[in-house]
Amino acid sequence: MKIRDLFRGDIGRPIETVIHVDLSDEQTVAHEIDEYVVTDNIRDHLEELADLYAETARNPSESTNVWVSGFFGSGKSSFAKMVGYALANPQVDGRSATERLLARTNSLKLEALLTTAHTLAPVITVFLDLSSGRDMLREGESLVLPVYRALLKRLGYSANELLAELEFTLEAEGRLQAFETAALEATSGKAWAQVRDVALARNYASRALHIIDKATFPNADSWARGASAPNMDHNWLADRAIELLRRRGDGATRLVFVIDEVGQYVARSIPRMFDLQGLAEAFQKKRGPLWLVVTSQEKLSDVVDSLESRQVEYARVQDRFPLRVDLLPSDIHEVTSRRVLDKTDAGQTAIRDRFAAHRGQLNTYVRLESPTRAADLAEDEFIRLYPLVPYQVQLLIDSVSARRAQGGGSPMLGGSNRTIIKLAQQLVIDPHNGLGGAEVGALVTLDRASRLLEEAIPTSWRHEIEQVADKYTHEGTETHIMQAVALCSDVPALPLTEANLAALLHPSIEAENGRTRVAAALGRLVADDRLRVGDDGYHVQSPEQKDWERVRKGKEPRPADAIRIRKTIIRQALTGLSVTKGRSFKIELWVEGEKLTDGDVALDVEEADSARREQFRNASREEETASRVSWLYTLDDETDRAIGEWYRSDEMIKAKDTPSKTAAEVELLGEERQRLGRIERQLIERLSHVMTTG
């Protein structure tokens, strides 16, 4: 059986992931509501919010703003959309939005609350997405502007602030219809609604005004030369929104603004946080007619805590969002399995048979070395989430969160662009990276997910991956390792060790362990300066790290340096050594002919070839050496390489640990000290081995 044939529903059906869905696209909205998976936690939050909305309709208050938080892919954008649909309750493809949603919740309480809400406070919902270039036109602009533009479009005004102000004024004067008629003449027969958002709209408007009011506008360009947009701030927007609602609300008494990715917009920016606070406060002051529902990956308290200083002022931000909704990790597991990966009975049986036949080895081969991510595979959960390995859901969430925190990827990366639900679907149906055409038994690997989430990967890392692919092919293990490392770097509790990378790239239920193959490929990537290894595993090298490695590799120890290093390590290992025969005798340590410690019995430790060994053997027969013990050994290649690596690390630390070091050098020095510690432990082990066999 092919993987694409496992599923109960059409695995290739459209899945909407963008919050900015046009309510006029009724089939899309209907499909989205009808597929929405309501967990117990989500139902509780819907009831809580509907209760507050209905209560404030009876008793107006400042409890009008909602903060919806949840990690990447948690469904926070979908939840916010459902809130908007439920409160506005539009007719959607022959049925009301509320009727469709209630069919998904089976909640009599929610039905009663929404009925009250619709009766007491009918509403118009305005959707916008701050991670979208469609809503955020200019970097750094105040929230007032995208919110106002979205409202203008929703109520049928021009999205241009200047032209909307003209429409607003003409409407108040009762001249808007005359203006629109004149615009037909000014544009040679084009309706004003068709041209008001084009580049020449200002000129068309000026010409139309000249037609209807030659006394005020004597020339066709009179208005265009002198017009300017209004000065807008948060309080102005609140007042204007209520007036627009009064004019074009068609009986609605409230506006609900659903704004996606506010957390990404704030992004630890103090000015943006105060901008958000100002908007929320202006809406609260109106005590009911204006509501704000925003989404963020982080809880509001975490966002506030991440901002430094002036904590008293930031505490006020939290007061602006009295209702907090936090979606749980368990929600997305249930939603993903029910909405996308729901299997037929035959499909479940096919997976169960293969799992049962290989359960022991599969558990071993995909198990992660991690304090929190290591767990045996549960059969039912494995079947529900297949072809994903169950822990991959949380791992992918954490990976995208880590990439967003790092930056360097697409500026439009966000929950609205790529959700876990959509990703799970693409891992089956994508023509290049999906497993749909594979036989049941194939597993999702992290290199596939990395390719589908390419926009999350920093541009410099993508270039590294391409160069590796050019050398080792796109299907080479080296390329797949680079893709997995690029996606999963800095994920908490996931050291990217050889064992874990082999687990993340395990291709199927039946496959043998690929650790040996992965280990060999990692060795080549380190030798190529593509990856570097630290205490927490392998990482893609930055340009600064590459320069560091280039300088480091140029440092070669001389014979005298190698002797000095051996003396240092042997002294650490043997200092304080004593022997007991009747009483204790302290060892006097000599290494390579140099006395390093005082003692009662002399111990000569020396690296010696066959000729030097013969000299020691002959000297040991002489009377003056009767109280000396000789310990001879021969270096092997591995120990010699470890000595060279110790020298390079020590030299880099001495050269770079200066008062004028940069921030990047501080980080690199820390990594180098860690590497020196690892090398020193390895060198002690190697010297112990060659000395005990010497």
Query: 644: number of CA atoms within 13 Å, CB side?
Result: 13
Residue 20 has a pLDDT of 47
Q: Where does the chain hold its CATH 3.40.50.300 domain(s)? A: 25-135+234-327
Q: From CA 692, how far away is CA 153, in angstroms rounded?
A: 82
> What are the per-10-residue average pLDDT scores of the chain (694 residues)?
95 69 73 90 95 95 94 82 95 94 94 96 94 70 94 95 96 97 95 93 96 96 93 97 97 96 81 92 96 90 69 71 86 85 96 97 96 93 96 91 67 48 93 96 97 91 95 97 96 96 98 97 94 89 84 92 90 75 80 87 86 82 77 89 94 92 87 90 89 78
Residue 73 has a pLDDT of 67
Residue 412 has a pLDDT of 41
Of 202, 166, 204, the C-alpha closest to 187 is 204
- The answer to whether the beta carbons of residues 662 and 544 sit under 8 Å apart is no
Q: Which amino acid is at 158?
A: S
Q: From CA 78, how far away is CA 325, in angstroms rounded?
A: 13
First to last CA, the chain: 61
- Residue 559: is the preceding peptide bond cis (ω within 30°)? no
531-534/95-96 β-pairing: unpaired
- The answer to whether the beta carbons of residues 321 and 266 sit under 8 Å apart is no
**To 5 degrees, how large is the angle CA 333–CA 337–CA 339?**
115
- The answer to whether the beta carbons of residues 420 and 333 sit under 8 Å apart is no
* CATH class of the domain whose range is 25-135+234-327: alpha beta
CA-to-CA separations, 654 to 8, 413, 552, 665, in angstroms, rounded:
64, 41, 12, 12
Residue 223 has a pLDDT of 96
Of 455, 395, 449, the C-alpha closest to 131 is 455
Question: What are the beta bridge partners of residue 257?
Answer: 126, 292
pTM of structure: 0.70
Can you list the pairs that 54-59 forms with residues at least 24 positions away whose Cβ atoms lie under 8 Å? 54/113, 54/116, 54/117, 54/120, 54/121, 56/121, 56/288, 57/116, 57/117, 57/120, 57/121, 57/288, 58/120
Q: From CA 369, how far away is CA 360, in angstroms rounded?
A: 17
Alpha helices in 528-599 (DSSP H): 543-553, 559-574
**Cβ-based neighbours of 351, under 8 Å, separated by 6 or more:** 6, 343, 382, 383, 386, 440
Q: At what angle do helices 144-154 and 234-248 cross, to 10 degrees?
A: 0
